[in-house]
Structure 1
Amino acid sequence: MRATSVDEHDASPHACEPARLTLSVFAPSGVLAEPAAARRALRRLLSIGFDASLDATALARSQRFAGDDDTRLAALHRVADAAPSVAMALRGGYGLTRLLDRIEWPRIARSIERGTRWVGYSDFTALHLGALAHGALATRSPGGLWAGPLAHDDFSRTAEQGGVEEVTEACFLEAMHGELEAVGFRTEPGFDGLEARGTLWGGNLTVLLSLLGTKHWPRIKGGILFLEDVNEHPYRVERGLLQLHQAGVLQAQKAVVLGAFSDWRKSPLDRGYGLKTVVTQLRAATRTPILSGLPFGHVATKVCLPVGRRVNLVVEGRDVLLAWG
């Protein structure tokens, strides 16, 4: 998999010393088991040119959460009011769904109008989709909603753990500095000549499904839907995708783009059943083009995607370009 707009930079991505952006790392979801990892992530973000800081309650603990609901909601609103250039979630897990009914969406909207880019994936899907559903993303706001890396998952890895993935870091830097205008990847044969334009939306399949039928569900028609998940056996992925199909969501889209569905375990009962089976089944069920191969999800190499932006999707041979510049 590759991101065509992310070059194999000959020089360091911050060699030109771009203006330092403020970046706040906060924890709206799961607890961080190893506090030292947050400090490693912060050092890395500082080293690549961000004026990075850790929210006061980012390392709080309450059962499996990064503080109780009131603590995490206050952190979210505190970051929104401060309106840093980048608001990055520390990690995913679970917890944002608990907050959706109490989030003051106009505060999120004002931060985006002031230039804040809300970045994350996994459980952060709930915030992205809720913001879309409640109209927090204005068409020409300088800020935005970005499906992209998490501080802990992507910037705290030690050298022994593989370190920070170069494409992920470079893509993130370009996106936050307003330089990223497209990403590209390779898909399966059969889609040559496909062109589509629509609103880019989506994220983690399980989190997305949890919002279906609620007031936090964005009713997007003619969009480009992207999906990923982790620790979900293919039969659970298929069930979720068929739920979207049977609810009329897939048919209402111009295209569906599948990222990584990682870290699931095979069963002796599978007998050849796997993710390819799921995609074949889904393509037989809907006329909406289903593309695979997007480098995004719970994997080391991930691109950044502007949630809620109008994008163009073009396929030439097996090369897919997703552009919004």
Structure 2
Amino acid sequence: MPKRLDIRLIAPSGYAADRAACHRGIERLQAAGHRVQGEAVVERTFLRFAGSDAERAADINQLADATAPLPDMVMATCGGYGAIALLDLLDYGGLATRFRDQACVFVGHGDFTAIQCALYARSGIGSLHGPMLLQDFGATYLRESTWRHFWQTATSPRTEVSWLCAEDQPDLRVEGTIWGGNLSTVCSLIGTPYLPEFDGGILYVEETGEQAWRVERMLYELKLAGVLDRQRAILIGGLSGQRVSEYDNGYDTEHALQRFGDACGLPILRGLAFGHGPDKWTLPFGAQATVDVLDGTAHLTASGYRHAGDASSVN
């Protein structure tokens, strides 16, 4: 049984198209003994967003209010699009001060990657790249492995995961700061003050609904912008939703990654499940990590990151 936590919901991106799923997720969290706050964001709709820019930014900025207690966890309801419009509206100084000595962890994925990058770049606040309310905890079938690994990671200072990568993957060992998220969202922050600069980083990226050539182009964006010059390895998650057209002549995601791998000069590891997709591991953003590959099996360990309910975990 995970620790009983105060969980506050925020909706920085799209609105909840399936509100029944959100309420199912809230009920699951409550049934596990957690206290859920901020349910009203599930009901908000403005155009394609979960409220106006000001409303969605206020959900986050209220965490800087020293007169109100912080929750143990801040969980995004869902992704979509819209978080990037909030980045100039957030109180980074206030959030940095508030989070300096109090245990509270942000969690989300997809479009929420923009918030995670900005919080680290401007406030030094680490987070968790993991499941969200609608797609994951509110799913008709709750993935036990996703649930179990999330709580293990979210409430302890160390996490680990193993997975099978390509049989011809050379053995290796890399250490560095682990970070990343949705590929297109990370690329949207290039050239802005909201993309963290990690020297000796281990970058994880995933994507959904983008064609193979677009994935390759975004990876080249990171390379040409110098982001990859500071990384020691790239971990590739799911790249679902690609379609191969007649014009592609067989060119697909495998070709895209092979071509880019030959050009970038970094170890590229496939097969790590995170982000979009029904089964996912929870990955720290901004933690120290080690990746070992031996005989086609990769093992990731990360430690010393901010986790819920423990003041000793703050950055």
Which TM-score applies when normalising by structure 1? 0.88
User: In the TM superposition, what are the counterparts of 1:1-325 in structure 2 within 5 Å?
Assistant: 14=1, 18-79=2-63, 81=65, 82-109=69-96, 110-111=98-99, 113-137=101-125, 144-158=126-140, 163-178=141-156, 180-325=158-303
Shift, 1:250, TM fit: 1.7
Q: 1:246 to 1:19 in 2, by over 3 A?
A: closer
Shift, 1:181, TM fit: 1.9
Aligned-residue Cα RMSD (Å) equals 1.6
Q: Is the 8 A contact 2:158 2:301 kept in 1?
A: no
1-side partners of 2:133 and 2:119: how far apart? 21
Comparing 202-211 with 182-191, greater Cα deviation is found at 182-191
Q: Is the 8 A contact 1:259 1:295 kept in 2?
A: yes
Render the CA deviation track for 1:263-316: whole Å, top value 9, x for unaligned: 222322222211110111011102111111111121001000110011111111
2-side partners of 1:19 and 1:297: how far apart? 24
Q: Is the 8 A contact 2:160 2:300 kept in 1?
A: yes
2-side partners of 1:190 and 1:249: how far apart? 26
Shift, 1:215, TM fit: 0.9
Q: One-letter code of the match for 1:59? A: E
Other structure's SS at 1:240 match? helix
2-side partners of 1:262 and 1:216: how far apart? 27
Q: Is the 8 A contact 1:108 1:136 kept in 2?
A: no
Shift, 1:317, TM fit: 1.1
Other structure's SS at 1:324 match? strand
2-side partners of 1:185 and 1:86: how far apart? 27
Partner of 1:11: none
Q: One-letter code of the match for 1:182? A: E
Partner of 1:5: none
Q: Percent of aligned positions with the same letter in both sequences?
A: 35
Q: Is the 8 A contact 2:63 2:95 kept in 1?
A: no
Gaps of 5+ in 2: 304-315
Shift, 1:192, TM fit: 3.7
1-side partners of 2:179 and 2:117: how far apart? 8
Count of aligned pairs between the two proteins? 299
Shift, 1:130, TM fit: 0.6
Q: Is the 8 A contact 1:183 1:303 kept in 2?
A: yes
1-side partners of 2:279 and 2:207: how far apart? 14
Comparing 230-239 with 102-111, greater Cα deviation is found at 102-111
Gaps of 5+ in 1: 1-13, 138-143
Q: Is the 8 A contact 1:83 1:112 kept in 2?
A: no
1-side partners of 2:301 and 2:95: how far apart? 25
1-side partners of 2:301 and 2:99: how far apart? 25
2-side partners of 1:266 and 1:113: how far apart? 50
Q: One-letter code of the match for 1:105? A: Y
